[in-house]
Structure 1
Amino acid sequence: MDTDRPKDTLKGLSLTSVAIPLNLREIPRLLTNFWLWDQPDFDPGATDGPQPRLVLCFNNDDAASEEERIRSAFEATETLKRRFSTLDFIYLDLRGERDLYLRENVLPEPKGGYKAGPNNQFFELIERLKDERGAVFQMETDCVPIRSGWLAALSRRVARAEPFWVMGSPYCGEAALPLEFARHINGNAIYAVCDPQFQTFVKSIWRPGLEHFVKTEDPRVAYDIYLEWAFTIALRRHNVEQFRQFQKTYMKFVFTDYVMNISSEADANFFSKTAMPGFIDRHPNTYVLHGAIFAKAVEALRAEGGPPTPARLGVGLSPAPSELPEQPSSVDLGQCIYQPHYSAVRALQEHVDILTKALESAHHNAYVQRKTIDRLLQDMPASSDGDETAHSPNLTVEGRENSTISPKN
């Protein structure tokens, strides 16, 4: 027997924790989620094996004084408290520039980038959970279940999955993301934190790579879009070494329709275009939606006071829509990145409009102006002979908490 051979920690993987990254200001939303998950139609469900932990990871100990209130709310639930083995708290030590999250591009550029806070919180959470015996689902407070049994279903899916490091959703909303990160996996995903090779990848490649990228390429970049963006740049620049590096690990980043990321500002009208009963029926394998609009829907549902059911999400936010044709946010997985095509003339006009807006906007500093000009030159149609494949890049990007200027999520 080869005792020196490393154990394959990715075989027979189990879900051991659900981790919620948050800060002091998000506690009201957390407590609203506790209320929601305790409702029969949003019940997490009993897992087949050992119950996972529920881990709350705060950016710092400013929230420590609220721990008793949070525990009391959790213990006051009827069903929810029985779905998790324990409620655990992690308090990181992120302050100052290490805890920064800016939605506008102010000058001077922060040393760690505009998303230093969420980036550091993610990497330190992964590090803290390295002793887990299985996988962890990172579930931000703006993730909302749309059917009962969501925890039990996730446990089964993890157990049956092919070996993976990260399993999550691409962007499935209506915005046309920049090509550099259009296929990225959103940060609300399942991570094989128990795997030493994954931990090494995070520590030696992912985190230092992002930190270098933020300093040299774009200070707005968040951890979840970085890998796809860096991979795209490596291809563009014919960086064989970096391409080979990603090539060795890319198959361990897999898509799933368990969670669906619909988190751009362009998706703020989701409930005015989508009838929830039909949406739920069309996506029988989707259990969780990610996006600020869904968190707002839960808050409105609780305030409205009617029966809390998935079909009633969106009540109080907009007029109930009639059943509409399928929207880009509801297309088949793998085709959910909507990128319209234009004629060469239309594309040229779009490029000019983008450049003009960037130069006139008070929110775009010299750095963004230069990047916009670079993009204009790179994406300019080669001819105007009616080529219908020319496309117009859309610089509106999705962002945590509906930021429109942050390449995030």
Structure 2
Amino acid sequence: MQHTSLFIIRGDSSPDSFDLKRLAGVPTLSIGIAIDRWDVANWRPTYLVCLDDHIVETEIDQIVRLVREDRIAEFFLSGRALELAPELARHTNIRYLEEFVEHRFKTLGKSLGLHFTENLEFQSCRPEIATAETLAVRYGASLEYKVIALLSLSDSVEAFEAIREDFQRNQVLVQIFDTGSDSTLTKAAVFPYQSLSRLLDESLLGAVVVPVTAGEQAQVLDNLWLWSQPAFAPFLGPAPSRRPDLVLVCNNAGAAACEPAVRKFIAETPSLERCFAKIRFVVLDLAGDADLYQRENRGRRTEHGFRAGPNNMFFAAMDAMRTHWGHSLYMETDCVPIRPDWLGQVDRHLRGAEPPWVTGSIYRGADALGPREKRHINGNAIYATADPDFQHFVDSVWRPRLGELVTDRPELPFDCLLEALYELADARRGDADVNWQTLRKVSHKFRYSALIPNITSESGTLHMLADQIQDLLETSPDSCIVHTRALAGFVASLRSSGSTPSMPELLAITREAADGLPPRPPASPKKGPAWSVSRVREGLARRLPPSIKRLVD
């Protein structure tokens, strides 16, 4: 499919600032030459622009080499190149500035035998403020692309404002976006901002992050087995070109002991291995009070609080992912996919909305909650870990404020910090209240979503759980993962049952446990000789309507 967008970059951009491979196969225009960097990446732009006479004089040998190489579709050069290398005249894929800018034609182009052509894209009410960058953008617009994306351009705001005014007046119907959220052009509101990932239609999910303790090693392997089954596959069809990493954050070396088994399982399971770019282990050294996790909100108090272990693992995960691209899906081992293509669904969600910092679920289970928990976004969520502003919020607000509050509120988990700030904030004081000031700035970055319903429950029955998941399957097509410890506990039973793995089978096993039926014999099909008469009778009885069932009982 032909790409309708043109991506304009500076050839002298820092090698560390951008991965040229991201632009493979899409139309690109480079302002200037970075031949060493291009050779390392085995990459060439679609169009090369070099308009500064001094730079042309310095780079003429490289320009001639690139023209002869014949890997660049078209060149837009200063006429000085033709003066220095007359042999360029025989190449029909070279356009010259003097063909588009009248005063340059009169002073140089005419003597070189070039022809001047009136062009709407180059007509300007303020030609005297034109720069090499803005002339390159005008040239790009003349190539009839519908969208132009500016990458790391830092030229005169005034010159780019002139482009905006000229294109509006002359009805040059091209949409220009700046891809730098903190660029000069975005801050001056010259052009609208759009992220490069969205314009390239890239995957935005950079990692799946799983916190692991020593007691969860078996569950990790059961979950990987579940993900390897077609009914629970992370991606259906091809995985995206930029695949997420799978990152396991272990609280200590004891938890990390599962690494060989995890790597072996994934290496031997091609359907799972293709879903992830890398498998990474982050091993912490948590112990004692720093690794504490008390479910009950009582007991010995420490400076770290009752949820110190999960809190510390969360912040370690945020730290580990800050230099990695994209968003991170943070999912504990008691999160279970309920549909195939669940990572694909998460990625599609990220591509379709204003990028939040946190996307997750309000509590949707059956337990009673206090006022501080009732609106909180569960920690099993999607985090904008590559966003410097989000990481600044983690470092300056989330982590230090939680550390302060757990001294008096030891039960406070990391995912309730925002609600705790709402409880403390006094909006009547306006800017004088620091908590309210913070909340006004960041609240819109925290979003509820149906993607990962939090339905974990201590009081609900297994039948209630199965009914709720069935309801999600039937009425909430966007829900693809559920957070519920009870369901996760039956993954091992499904794995050992011999049944064809599917969501209906997992729900059936859950209901059987609710009715007190013994686990299915290992490696036996659901309907086969391993079923006893009494087991079938019990299964039929539990499917009777409640009114009839009471009469039978």
TM-score range for the pair, normalised by the shorter chain length: 0.7 to 0.9
CA RMSD in angstroms comes to: 2.6
Kindly tell me: are residues 32 and 2 of structure 1, through their superposed partners in 2, closer, same or farther at Cα, counting changes over 3 Å?
A: same
Q: 1:60 to 1:147 in 2, by over 3 A?
A: same
Q: 1:105 to 1:145 in 2, by over 3 A?
A: closer
1:199 aligned to 2:391? Answer: yes
Q: 1:178 to 1:297 in 2, by over 3 A?
A: same
User: Residue 262 and residue 10 in structure 1: after superposition, are their counterparts in 2 closer, same or farther (change >3 A)?
Assistant: farther
Q: Normalising by structure 1, report the TM-score.
A: 0.73
2:207 partner SS: strand
Which of 232, 237, 241 lines up with 1:42 in the alignment?
232
- The equivalent of 2:488 in structure 1 is 295
- The superposition leaves residues 183-238 of structure 1 with CA deviations (integer Å, 9 ceiling, x where unpaired) of 1110010000111111110011011111111113x101100012112212324996
Q: CA 1:173–1:63 in 2, change beyond 3 Å: closer, same or farther?
A: closer
Give the match for residue 94 of structure 2: none
* Conserved 8 A contact 1:147-1:287: yes
Counterpart in the other structure of 1:110: 302
Letter matched to residue 420 of structure 2: W
What corresponds to 2:454 in structure 1? 261
Q: The residue matched to 1:251 in structure 2 has which SS?
A: helix
- Report the counterpart of residue 514 of structure 2 in structure 1: 318
Distance 2:284 2:301 in 1: 24
Which whole-Å CA distance do the structure 2 matches of 1:299 and 1:307 have between them? 13
Q: Give yes or no for the alignment of 1:150 onto 2:342.
A: yes
Following superposition, the deviation at residue 256 of structure 1 comes to: 1.0
Residue 456 of structure 2: SS of its match in structure 1?
Answer: coil
Deviations 1:88-124 (A, max 9, x none): 1110121221111123455431121011111011011
CA contact (8 A) 1:276 1:313 kept: no
Opposite residue 211 of structure 2, the aligned amino acid is P
Q: CA deviation at 1:171?
A: 0.6
Residue 297 of structure 1, CA deviation: 2.6
Partner of 1:368: none
Q: Report what 2:323 is aligned to.
A: 131
Counterpart of 1:111, as a letter, is E
Give the aligned residue type for 1:102: Q
1:173 and 2:365 correspond: yes
Structure 1 residue identity aligned to 2:315: F
CA contact (8 A) 1:47 1:155 kept: no
Deviations 1:132-153 (A, max 9, x none): 1110000111110111111111
- How is 1:298-377 mapped onto 2 (pairs within 5 angstroms)? 298-314=491-507, 315=509, 316-319=512-515
Change (3 A) 1:247 1:297: same
Show CA shifts across 1:345-374 (max 9, x none): xxxxxxxxxxxxxxxxxxxxxxxxxxxxxx
SS class of match (1:308): coil
d(CA) in 1 for partners of 2:194, 2:460: 35
After TM superposition, the structure 1 stretch with the greater mean CA deviation from structure 2, 189-198 or 6-15, is 6-15
Segment drifting more, 45-54 vs 178-187: 45-54
Q: In the superposition, relative to structure 1, how do residues 272 and 210 fare at CA in structure 2: closer, same or farther (>3 Å)? A: closer
In structure 2, the residue matched to 1:233 is: 424
Aligned-partner Cα distance in 1 for 2:413–2:250 = 18
Take 2:226 and 2:402, find their aligned partners in 1: how far apart are those partners?
35
1:182 to partner: Cα distance: 0.7
Tell me if structure 2 keeps the 8 A contact 1:36–1:42. Answer: yes
1:236–1:318 Cα change, 3 Å: farther
Post-superposition CA distance 1:258-308 (Å, at most 9, x none): 111011212343556617555412121110000101101322322333221
Bigger Rg, structure 1 or 2: 2
Any conservation in 1 of the 2:377–2:416 contact (CA below 8 Å)?
Answer: yes
Q: Which amino acid aligns with 1:145?
A: P
Structure 2 length-normalised TM: 0.55
Segments of structure 1 that go 5 or more residues without pairing to the other structure are 325-409
Match of 1:274 among 455, 458, 467: 467
Q: Which residue of 2 aligns with 1:372?
A: none
The answer (yes or no) to whether the contact 1:274–1:323 under 8 Å persists in 2 is no
Q: What secondary structure is seen at the aligned counterpart in 1 of 2:354?
A: coil
Q: Name the residue aligned to 2:405.
A: 213
**Structure of greater relative contact order (alpha carbons < 8 Å, 6+ residues apart):** 1
Shift of 1:312: 2.0
- Structure 2 counterpart of 1:128, which letter? A
Report the equivalent of 2:439: 246
The verdict on how the C-alpha distance between 1:270 and 1:178 changes in structure 2, with shifts beyond 3 A counting, is farther
Determine helix, strand or coil for the equivalent of 1:176. coil
Distance 1:247 1:301, change over 3 A: same
Q: Aligned partner of 2:302: which letter?
A: P
The residue identity in structure 2 corresponding to 1:224 is D
Give the whole-Å Cα distance in 1 for the aligned partners of 2:422 and 2:272: 41
Long gaps (5+) in structure 2: 1-152, 156-179, 187-192, 199-203, 516-538, 546-553
Distance in 1 between the 2:370 and 2:453 partners? 19
SS in 1 for 2:210: strand
Aligned residues with identical type, % of pairs? 35
Q: In structure 2, what is the Cα distance between the partners aligned to 1:278 and 1:161?
A: 25
Secondary structure class of the residue paired with 2:206:
strand
User: In terms of mean alpha carbon deviation, does 66-75 or 249-258 score higher?
Assistant: 66-75
Q: Quick check: 2:455–2:484 contact (8 Å CA) kept in 1? A: yes
How far apart, CA to CA, are the structure 2 residues paired with 1:276 and 1:242?
37
**1:276 and 1:311, CA in 2 relative to 1: closer, same or farther beyond 3 A?**
farther
For residues 312-331 of structure 1, give each alpha carbon's deviation from its aligned partner in whole angstroms, at most 9, with x where no partner exists: 2231322487699xxxxxxx
SS at the partner of 1:26? Answer: helix
Q: Distance in 2 between matches of 1:292 and 1:121?
A: 18
Task: Determine helix, strand or coil for the equivalent of 2:249.
Answer: strand
CA–CA distance in structure 2, aligned partners of residues 6 and 236 of structure 1 = 30
Distance 2:439 2:207 in 1: 27
CA 1:10/1:112 → structure 2, altered by over 3 Å: closer, same or farther?
Answer: farther
